[in-house]
Chains A and B, each alone.
Chain A
Amino acid sequence: MESIRIEKTRKTPDITFNAESGKLQIEGKSIPENSIEFYKPLVDWLEEYGKTSHDATEVNIKLEYFNTSSSKCILDVFKKLETIHKENNNVIINWYYEEDDEDMLEAGEDYQSILKIPFKMIEMEE
């Protein structure tokens, strides 16, 4: 399977997904006006990725900002991962937030409470 590499823009994050190592990284701002369009390739790719089994999938998500339209799409991404996890594959989501950024921690906790998938909250020191 091909890996994914989406370069960041002023309003969208950097996304890399290596199918072989099972590592997905999302980093930067996610504030596009049309989030559905932006996240569609990743959601489709995860759908494909989920068709075969994988020993371990690790997600590292480090967002500076995300808007409400991204928040729905991010949940869609996580739901695809939840399905993969349900089929007895190891999946972990590492949710990074900057020191003292309570809003970002809270956002991670909200996702954690909605999903049945291992989450780890990681505080980054400045």
Chain B
Amino acid sequence: MSFDLLEWYKKNTDEKILYSFLGPVSEDIISSILDKIENILTEKETDLKTFKKIYHISVEALQNLYHHSDSPNQKGNAIENNIVFILKKEANPAKIINKFYILTGNFINKSNTRLLKERIDQLNFLSKDEIRTLYKLILNNNEFSEKGGGGLGMIDLVKRSGNNLSYNFYNFDNDYIFFTLRIAI
């Protein structure tokens, strides 16, 4: 059975969500999502430290979606052009404080799946200090990727959140995979 984006979106936007977006991404869309997140966090009286972490991770996650989705741009209303961004707050039974989560989704070419999976697995395997060292190494390697960041985006999500990344790949069709990433904050 092929992957149903709307069904997945519905399932993941239950009553605990603070904010959710489904649609094509652009620079203006990113700005407006960030404005909304800022408002929501202000309303919820989030402490400054958590506020900054969530904002920073949102910026990076959204720009990862913007730069790295493999959507077929020529077909304006193709389902593959959509991205998903969800901000949630979930009760954590082990702790008194609730935890924030960011869940993102985007379409990627099937051929990129293996590399992406290996990359995340590798980052999840590293310790906090190793992540920082790797970040500095890539920051200083004098290389800009065609997208500008030189591959720092995913490392930054691990570095800032201090948590491992969870992911899933859903088969969409012969060419595309829907890739979801869950970042606990």
Task: Please report A residues at the B interface, Cβ cutoff 8 Å.
Answer: 10-11, 31, 33-36, 65, 67-69, 71-72, 75, 98, 100-101, 103, 106, 110, 113-114, 126
Contact = CB atoms under 8 A, between A and B. Distances in A.
Given A10-B31, A67-B60, A110-B136, A100 B48 contact: yes
Given A33-B66, A65-B59, A71-B152, A110 B48 contact: no
A72 B139 contact: yes
Contacts of A68: 60, 149, 152-153, 155-156
B180 interface: no
A86 B149 CA distance: 27
B148 A36 contact: yes
Contact of B52 (A72, A101, A126): A101
Contacts of A75: 139-140
A72 B144 CA distance: 8
Q: How large is the interface on B (under 10, 10 to 19, 20 to 34, 35 or more residues)?
A: 20 to 34
Interface of B: 27, 30-31, 34, 48-49, 52-53, 55-56, 59-60, 63, 66-67, 132, 135-136, 139-140, 144, 147-150, 152-153, 155-156, 160
Contacts of B55: 65
B152 A33 contact: no
A84 B49 CA distance: 36
A85 to B, nearest CB: 17
Contacts of B132: 106, 110
A111 to B, nearest CB: 9
| 8 A-B pairs with the lowest CB-CB distances in the bound complex, closest first | A68-B152, A69-B148, A69-B149, A68-B149, A68-B156, A31-B59, A114-B140, A33-B27
A1 B153 CA distance: 37
A113 B53 contact: no
A65 B60 CA distance: 11
Given A68-B156, A103-B160, A33 B63 contact: yes
B95 to A, nearest CB: 20
Nearest to A31: B59
Contacts of B48: 98, 100, 126
A67 B63 CA distance: 9
Given A67-B60, A72-B150, 8 more contacts: A31-B63, A33-B27, A33-B67, A34-B148, A71-B149, A72-B139, A72-B152, A110-B132
Given A10-B31, A36-B148, A68-B153, A103 B139 contact: no
A113 B56 CA distance: 23
Contacts of B34: 31
